[in-house]
Amino acid sequence: MSCQISRLFLRRYTSEAVQSIYPFSNNVKTPPAPILNPTRPLLNGKGLMAQLYKSLPSKHTQEMLGTLFSRRHPNRILPGSVLTVTSSQAPTTFTGVLLGIRRRGPGTSFTLRNVIQRTGVEMQFFVGSPHIKNIQVVQKATNISGKNRKGGLRRAKLFYLRTSPDKMSQISTNMKS
């Protein structure tokens, strides 16, 4: 109840300041612009979506998309890695094998699979979500270098792990050792 009152007070206190900048609404915020001097092609829509996909996510998300979830960065996460995700929502930490990355710009997501108390559990996390605090690589995937993929995971999406518990336990034993 007290937090509601303080929120009302805050709204009224900030409304005058906001209204001087933006007179049409009280309930707005003014985030920084992605581009202050847009070029003519951007104003005509050329390259607009590519530019927005890069600039709309938060700085933290942009960093992750540029390094961990990019297609060519040396520190990119490969499917088959074991990751731990720290989140502000329950479950606060989740560890699992990366089954695959779904790249959709700001809506990029990835799924982790783990077997918890003899139950297979998969979780899909969205990179752009403000709930995600940290993504830590516990164990890198088998080294895949150049064209030769000997002994390594040769798929972008490891959905076959759902029906092969042996391979899942193989990954976990690799982790322990």
Report if residue 25 touches other proteins, rule: CB under 8 A: yes
58: phi then psi, degrees, rounded to nearest 5? -70, 165
Please select the residue that binds other proteins; options are 3, 5, 17, 21, rule is CB under 8 A. Answer: 21
User: In one letter, which amino acid is 164?
Assistant: S
Report if residue 5 touches other proteins, rule: CB under 8 A: no
Q: Which residues of 61-77 are buried (b: 16+ CB within 10 A; e: fewer)?
A: bbebbeebbeeeeeeeb
Binding to other proteins (CB under 8 A) within 134-163 occurs at none
The angle subtended at Cα 16 by Cα 12 and Cα 19, nearest 5°, is 120
Please select the residue that binds other proteins; options are 8, 9, 12, 38, rule is CB under 8 A. Answer: 38
Report if residue 129 touches other proteins, rule: CB under 8 A: yes
State both tokens at 177: 């050792």
Report if residue 66 touches other proteins, rule: CB under 8 A: no
Cβ pair 46, 65 in contact under 8 A: no
- In which region does residue 68 sit, left (phi positive, over 0), alpha (psi from -120 to 50) or beta (all else)? alpha
Report if residue 94 touches other proteins, rule: CB under 8 A: no
Stretch that binds other proteins, among 30-38, 62-70, 138-146, 169-177 (CB under 8 A): 30-38
- Residues of this chain that interact with other proteins (CB under 8 A) are 19, 21-38, 42-45, 48-49, 52-53, 56, 88-89, 104-107, 126, 128-131
